[in-house]
Amino acid sequence: MIAGRYDCVIPAAGYSSRMGAFKPLVNYRGRALVLHGLEQAVKVCRSVILVTGHRGDELENQVRSLEQVRIVHNPDFSEGMVRSIAAGAELVQSAWFFVAPGDMPALPATVYRTLADHSVTVDSEGANGTGRTAAIFPVLDGRRGHPVLVSSRIIPELLNCTEVPSMREFLRRYTVEEIPFPDTAVNRGMFLDIDRPEDVG
C-alpha cells in the first residue's frame, strides 16, 4: 500500500474561536473530535504528526495512547495554519506527506490511497519526487477537499514562509494536480469539517 509509505501532518493548534470550546476535544459521536481523524490517518499512513498549540498539554494527554502518533508543539500557532503545518513538516521523513486538518473526522481512507497511488505516476516524471507537481488535491464536483498530498521537496520553502495564513494560498505559487472522485456518501467526507456547535449534531 503506497499510502503506508507516507507521513501525515494534522494541525490542531488553533484557538477554536468559532466553536466556542476547545474543538479538538469536543465530544463528537462519543469521542474527542481529534481522535476520529487521527485514527483514520493511522490506518493508512506511515506515521501521523499531530501539531499542537493552544492547550497543547491537554491534547497530548488525550492522544498519547496512539502509538503511531508523534506530537510537535508549535509555539507560533497564532500566526496561522501554515506555521503549524510547517512545524509538523520538520518531522516528515517521507517523499510525500498528507495534510489533514484535525477538525475533519470523516476523511476517507480511499482518498488517501488514491492520492498516494497517483504520486507514483508523478514521481516517474521526475526521479525521487523532483518533478514539477508540488501537491495533489482530491476533487468532487469541482471542489477541492482533504487530505492534500504534498511533495516534501517544498518543505524548505514552507519552513521559510511567514507571510501567508493558509496552505492553499501558499500552494498557489506551485504546480498542483487534481484527482476527481465520484460523488458518494463516503467521499463527501473530504468536506466534512466541524467548526461550530451546530456541526457537532
Enclosing domain of residue 59: 2-195
**What's the chain's length in residues?**
201
Determine, yes or no, domain membership for 200.
no
Task: Assess if residue 104 is contained within a domain.
Answer: yes
CB distance 186 to 108 below 8 Å = yes
Which tops the pLDDT comparison, 1 or 113? 113
- Per-residue DSSP letter, 115: H
195 pLDDT more than 90: no
pLDDT score at 151:
96
Domain membership flag for residue 181: yes
172 part of a folded domain? yes
- The pTM score is 0.92
Q: Does residue 140 lie in a domain region?
A: yes
Q: Is residue 201 part of a domain?
A: no
Q: What's the pLDDT score for residue 1?
A: 63
pLDDT in tens, 33-92: 999 999 999 999 999 999 999 999 999 998 988 888 999 999 988 888 899 999 999 999
Where are any strands of DSSP class E within 19-152?
27-28, 31-32, 47-52, 69-73, 96-99, 133-140, 143-144, 148-151
**Is 105 part of a structural domain of the chain?**
yes
Total domain count for the chain? 1
Domain-located, residue 53: yes
Report d(CA 187, CA 184) in Å as an integer: 5
- CATH number of the domain enclosing 15: 3.90.550.10
